[in-house]
């Protein structure tokens, strides 16, 4: 049986925006701090401190026992990297996936988003690092735009695959799509219905309707999309040690369009290229 989708009111979406801005602020501070030589544990401390300053709470720490407030996944780590003593190096491809919730009207309202950074800036990195990052980010925005232009949740995966298909002849390689991890609804908890697949789905997909809030989060690889989980029970790596990249935003579908709750500009800049105007709620 499929779990039921919880449709949010505009007021509830506004609570979720508050949590979304906490996550956006964590991202901004991590983006600035992820320089060569910094330890991953120090970046987790920045994330934890930011959540605290906003009077919010971490939804990652303690989630099935997860020990940190942010997942930091470097190079061939796909998702759920646990911050450790590793010091970042110039040219590393690093994803920062984190979340927070606020309590409003006696309930929890969650946010969850992920961005990828190239340590030392794009020129410091290999062409593969730059191209995989740009491609994954583009796939995410195409998927988000599909929520505005499409009819069903499955249109997200179509859009992701279209971006890859178009890029393959230009890049000379085909990105893998990791299928083990998918996007999801979000609201009173971090993971809700519906599933948001990053690939062309078989079978009927839920209709896009106002009040849905979902995370769009493609994870692409430079090589095979096969992954393996390390004995720590969390760290997921590509089996062939190829690079992996992850981008995620949280998006509300409203009567008058879509709003990206984890983007400070509501998604305006990311969506412009796709001919979509983001809804601004305040």
Three-state DSSP state, 178? coil
Return the residues of window 248-267 that contact ligand MF3 according to CB under 6 A.
Answer: 248
CA distance 20 to 88: 27
Tallying the residues shown for the chain, one arrives at 282
Selected binder of Co ion within 68, 197, 215, 263 (CB under 5 A): 215
Q: Does 217 participate in binding ligand MF3 (rule CB under 6 A)? A: yes
Q: Smallest distance from the beta carbon of 140 to Co ion, in angstroms?
A: 12
Comparison of 71 and 279: residue with beta carbon closer to ligand MF3: 71
Return the residues of window 101-120 that contact ligand MF3 according to CB under 6 A.
Answer: 112
CA distance 261 to 14: 9
DSSP string, 96-138: EEEEEEEEETTEEEEEEEEEEEETT-GGGS-HHHHHHHHHHHH
Return the residues of window 101-130 that contact Co ion according to CB under 5 A.
Answer: 112
Selected binder of ligand MF3 within 16, 34, 71, 227 (CB under 6 A): 71
- Residue 133, binding choice from Co ion, ligand MF3, none, Cβ under 5 to 8 Å by partner class: none
Binding-site residue total for ligand MF3 (CB under 6 A)?
A: 13
Fill in the DSSP letter of residue 280: -
Return the residues of window 141-180 that contact ligand MF3 according to CB under 6 A.
Answer: none
Q: Going residue by residue from 182 to 201, which x/- string records binding to ligand MF3, judged by CB under 6 A?
A: --x-----------------
User: Are 16 and 213 within 8 A, CB to CB?
Assistant: yes
Q: Smallest distance from the beta carbon of 177 to ligand MF3, in angstroms?
A: 15
Q: Does 80 participate in binding ligand MF3 (rule CB under 6 A)? A: yes
Q: Which positions ≥6 away from 184 have C-beta within 8 Å? A: 190, 191, 192, 193, 194, 195, 196, 214, 215
Q: Smallest distance from the beta carbon of 27 to ligand MF3, in angstroms?
A: 13
CA–CA distance from 178 to each of 65, 69, 169, 219 (Å)? 24, 23, 20, 6
- Residue 96, binding choice from ligand MF3, Co ion, none, Cβ under 5 to 8 Å by partner class: none
Return the residues of window 30-69 that contact ligand MF3 according to CB under 6 A.
Answer: 60, 63-64, 66
Sign for the CA dihedral angle at 197, 2, 14, 79 comes to negative
Q: Smallest distance from the beta carbon of 126 to Co ion, in angstroms?
A: 27
Comparison of 91 and 267: residue with beta carbon closer to Co ion: 267
Beta-bridge partners for 114: 97, 248
Q: Which positions ≥6 away from 115 have C-beta within 8 Å? A: 27, 31, 95, 96, 247, 248
Comparison of 8 and 110: residue with beta carbon closer to ligand MF3: 110
> Which phi and psi (to 5°) does residue 143 adopt?
-65, -40
Comparison of 56 and 125: residue with beta carbon closer to ligand MF3: 56
**Which residues contribute to the site for ligand MF3 (CB under 6 A)?**
60, 63-64, 66, 71, 80, 97, 99, 112, 184, 215, 217, 248
**Which residues contribute to the site for Co ion (CB under 5 A)?**
112, 215
């Amino acid at each position: 049986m499929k779990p039921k989708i919880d449709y949010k009111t505009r007021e509830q979406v506004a609570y979720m925006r508050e949590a979304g801005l906490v996550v956006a602020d964590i991202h901004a501070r991590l983006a600035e701090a992820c320089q060569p030589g910094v330890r991953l544990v120090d970046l987790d401390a920045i994330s934890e401190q930011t959540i605290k300053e906003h009077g919010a709470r971490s939804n990652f720490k303690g989630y099935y026992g997860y020990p940190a407030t942010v997942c930091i996944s470097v190079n061939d780590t796909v998702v759920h990297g646990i911050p450790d003593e590793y010091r970042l190096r110039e040219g590393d491809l690093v994803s920062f996936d984190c979340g927070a919730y606020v309590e409003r009207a006696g309930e929890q309202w969650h946010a969850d988003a992920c961005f990828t950074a190239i340590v030392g800036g794009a020129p410091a990195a290999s062409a593969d690092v730059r191209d995989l990052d740009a491609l994954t980010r583009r796939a995410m925005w195409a998927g988000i735009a599909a929520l505005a232009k499409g009819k069903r949740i499955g249109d997200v995966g179509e859009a992701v695959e279209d971006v890859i298909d178009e890029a393959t002849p230009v890049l000379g390689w085909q990105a893998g799509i990791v299928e083990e991890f998918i996007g999801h609804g979000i609201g009173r908890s971090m993971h809700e219905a519906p599933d948001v697949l990053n690939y062309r789905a078989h079978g009927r997909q839920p209709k896009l309707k106002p009040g849905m809030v979902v995370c769009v989060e493609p994870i692409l690889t430079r090589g095979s999309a096969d992954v393996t989980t390390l004995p720590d029970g969390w760290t997921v790596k590509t089996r062939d040690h190829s690079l992996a990249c992850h981008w995620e935003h949280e998006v509300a579908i409203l009567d008058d369009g879509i709003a990206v709750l984890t983007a400070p500009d509501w998604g305006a800049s990311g969506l412009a290229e796709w001919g979509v105007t983001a809804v601004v709620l305040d």
